[in-house]
């Protein structure tokens, strides 16, 4: 047996490089994002592996994947880099304007509506700060916020979680989305509203069970002694709408999700009634991470953008309520 290992020479830059490669699953993609030559990036990761005496990444036909040791280091590295970022933000908080880096999580439907105005408003108001935007289902975003990978995000109907603080922002009605008359080539009987018990007779195109709207609908249907007729399971809202437009079924969505498609005129939206079903959009932050001047500023900015986006997204027969 050899003597005790010498002192580690790991530096923050190596951890940053390692995390980028792990998240992107590719040295070449990470090299582009980091603006570094790929051989230099590979060398730094190899030095990290040599210093820790473990293999962190395994190459396969599609890129690289984390080993068990790599997974453990990845979790530690994300926490270390976030802590360093918060230290910088805390030091810079005494300056004239917020600085640092913030990660915002958006559900795909809201991402299509909010990404452009958020980026433009952020660059105007916070030129010394950096913004990263990630998209994901509300359940995934809740996990990322609770573990610190995302600083704040928008969640649909979030479940109670001790690691999250949520602020309701907007309540939207849920409606049955069908092809507009004459768009699908099929005859569809339209009414102004659809009762929950009537919804069971429509073939539905829905996302997976972890999706907030799917969970809400199935819970309400079960309580009423009904079962949804799910014809197809598709994750992407845009793909769902493409299938609805082509006449393969119907969907249950909010007006903002329909408006984000850019082709709302191709569809008919009928509110669900008896009971009236709504989807509450909330802003969520970590309950354990102190707010920074930057996060407070972006929180207010995102809140204002959501409320402003509700106006253009409003469709005939739908209504919005500001959640309080």
In the structure, how many helices (H) and strands (E) does the chain have? 11, 14
- What number is the average pLDDT over the span 61-89? 85
Residue at 83 is within a domain: no
Write the burial class of residue 198 (CB in 10 Å: 0-12 exposed, 13-18 middle, 19+ buried): middle
Query: In terms of domains, do 157 and 285 share one?
Result: yes
- Return d(Cα 126, Cα 58) in angstroms, integer: 39
Query: In terms of domains, do 244 and 304 share one?
Result: no
What does pLDDT average to over the chain? 83
**Domain span holding position 121:** 97-171+280-322
Residue 58 near residue 64, CB atoms below 8 Å: yes
CA 277 to chain CA centroid, Å, is 22
- Stretch among 25-34, 165-174, 193-202, 257-266 having the lowest mean pLDDT: 257-266
Residue at 87 is within a domain: no
Q: Which of 279, 295, 311 is the last residue of a domain?
A: 279
The proportion of the chain whose per-residue pLDDT surpasses 70, expressed as a percent, equals: 87
Q: How many domains does the chain have?
A: 3
pLDDT band at 322 (very low <50, low <70, confident <90, very high): very low
pLDDT band at 96 (very low <50, low <70, confident <90, very high): low
Residue at 44 is within a domain: yes
9: left (phi over 0), alpha (psi -120 to 50) or beta: alpha
- pLDDT per position as a tens digit, 269-300: 998 888 888 888 999 999 888 888 899 999 99
Query: In terms of domains, do 150 and 297 share one?
Result: yes
Other CB atoms within 10 A of residue 272 CB: 21
- What number is the average pLDDT over the span 249-257? 88
Query: In terms of domains, do 210 and 162 share one?
Result: no
Residue at 7 is within a domain: no
- β-pair partners for 58: 65
Q: Is the pLDDT score of 181 beyond 90?
A: no
Instruction: Output Rg (C-alpha) for the chain, integer angstroms.
Output: 23
What's the CATH number where 258 sits? 3.40.190.10
- β-pair partners for 175: 253, 271
> Could you give the residue ranges of the DSSP H alpha helices within 97-248?
108-125, 138-147, 196-199, 212-223, 237-245
Query: In terms of domains, do 49 and 117 share one?
Result: no
Phi, psi angle pair for 245, to nearest 5°: -60, -35
> Could you give the residue ranges of the DSSP H alpha helices within the chain?
12-24, 27-34, 38-52, 68-92, 108-125, 138-147, 196-199, 212-223, 237-245, 255-260, 293-313
Q: Would you state the pLDDT for residue 95?
A: 57
- pLDDT per position as a tens digit, 138-155: 888 998 998 888 999 999
Q: Is the pLDDT score of 165 beyond 90?
A: yes
- Return d(Cα 63, Cα 71) in angstroms, integer: 16
Q: Would you state the pLDDT for residue 282?
A: 93
- What number is the average pLDDT over the span 17-46? 90
- Which range has the top average pLDDT, 5-9, 266-270, 318-322? 266-270
Q: Is the pLDDT score of 247 beyond 70?
A: yes
Residue at 5 is within a domain: no
Residue at 183 is within a domain: yes
Longest pairwise C-alpha distance within the chain? 80
Q: Would you state the pLDDT for residue 138?
A: 87
- Return d(Cα 273, Cα 174) in angstroms, integer: 9
Query: In terms of domains, do 239 and 151 share one?
Result: no
Q: Would you state the pLDDT for residue 275?
A: 85
Of 256 and 39, more confident:
39
82 by DSSP, 3-state: which? helix
Q: Is the pLDDT score of 195 beyond 70?
A: yes
6 by DSSP, 3-state: which? coil
pLDDT band at 316 (very low <50, low <70, confident <90, very high): very low
Query: In terms of domains, do 68 and 214 share one?
Result: no
Q: Which of 47, 76, 105 is the last residue of a domain?
A: 76
pLDDT band at 212 (very low <50, low <70, confident <90, very high): confident
Query: In terms of domains, do 29 and 64 share one?
Result: yes
What's the CATH number where 71 sits? 1.10.10.10
Q: Is the pTM of this model over 0.85?
A: no
pLDDT band at 187 (very low <50, low <70, confident <90, very high): very low
Q: Which of 76, 105, 130 is the last residue of a domain?
A: 76
Residue 109 near residue 256, CB atoms below 8 Å: yes
Query: In terms of domains, do 237 and 291 share one?
Result: no
Q: Would you state the pLDDT for residue 1?
A: 36
* Residue in 101, 137, 151 with CA at minimum distance from that of residue 213: 137
Query: In terms of domains, do 126 and 105 share one?
Result: yes
Q: How far is CA 170 from CA 150, 175, 210, in A?
A: 21, 16, 21
Query: In terms of domains, do 267 and 217 share one?
Result: yes
Cis previous bond, 47, omega within 30: no
Q: Would you state the pLDDT for residue 259?
A: 81
Q: How far is CA 63 from CA 21, 57, 66, 130, 236, in A?
A: 10, 10, 11, 28, 25
Residue at 6 is within a domain: no
Query: In terms of domains, do 127 and 35 share one?
Result: no
pLDDT band at 185 (very low <50, low <70, confident <90, very high): very low
Residue at 252 is within a domain: yes
């Amino acid at each position: 047996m050899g003597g005790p290992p010498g002192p580690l020479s790991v530096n923050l830059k190596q951890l940053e490089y390692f995390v980028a490669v792990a998240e992107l699953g590719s040295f070449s993609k990470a090299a582009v994002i980091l603006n570094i030559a790929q051989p230099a990036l590979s060398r730094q990761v190899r030095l990290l592996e040599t210093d820790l005496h473990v293999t962190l990444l395994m190459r396969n036909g599609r890129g690289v994947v984390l080993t068990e040791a790599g997974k453990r280091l990845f979790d530690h590295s994300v926490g270390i880099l976030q802590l360093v970022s918060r230290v910088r933000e805390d030091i810079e908080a005494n300056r004239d304007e917020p600085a640092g880096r913030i990660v915002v999580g958006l559900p795909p439907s809201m991402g299509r509506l909010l990404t452009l105005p958020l980026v433009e408003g952020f660059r105007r108001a916070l030129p010394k700060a950096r913004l990263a935007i990630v998209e994901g289902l509300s359940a995934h975003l809740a996990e990322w916020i609770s573990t610190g990978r995302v600083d704040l995000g928008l969640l649909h109907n979030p479940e109670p979680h001790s690691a999250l603080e949520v602020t309701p922002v907007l309540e939207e009605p849920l409606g049955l989305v069908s092809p507009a008359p004459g768009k699908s080539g099929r005859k569809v009987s339209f009414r102004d509203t659809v009762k929950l018990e009537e919804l069971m007779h429509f073939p539905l195109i829905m996302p997976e069970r972890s999706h907030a709207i799917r969970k809400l609908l199935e819970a309400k249907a079960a309580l009423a002694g009904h079962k949804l007729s799910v014809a197809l399971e598709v994750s992407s809202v845009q793909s769902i709408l493409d299938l609805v437009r082509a006449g393969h079924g119907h969907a249950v969505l909010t007006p903002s999700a329909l408006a984000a498609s850019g082709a709302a005129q191709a569809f008919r939206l009928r509110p669900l009634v008896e009971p009236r079903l709504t989807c509450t959009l909330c802003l969520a932050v970590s309950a354990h991470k102190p707010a920074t001047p930057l996060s407070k500023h972006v929180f207010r900015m995102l809140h204002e953008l959501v409320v402003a986006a509700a106006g253009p997204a409003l469709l005939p027969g739908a209504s919005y309520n500001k959640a309080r």
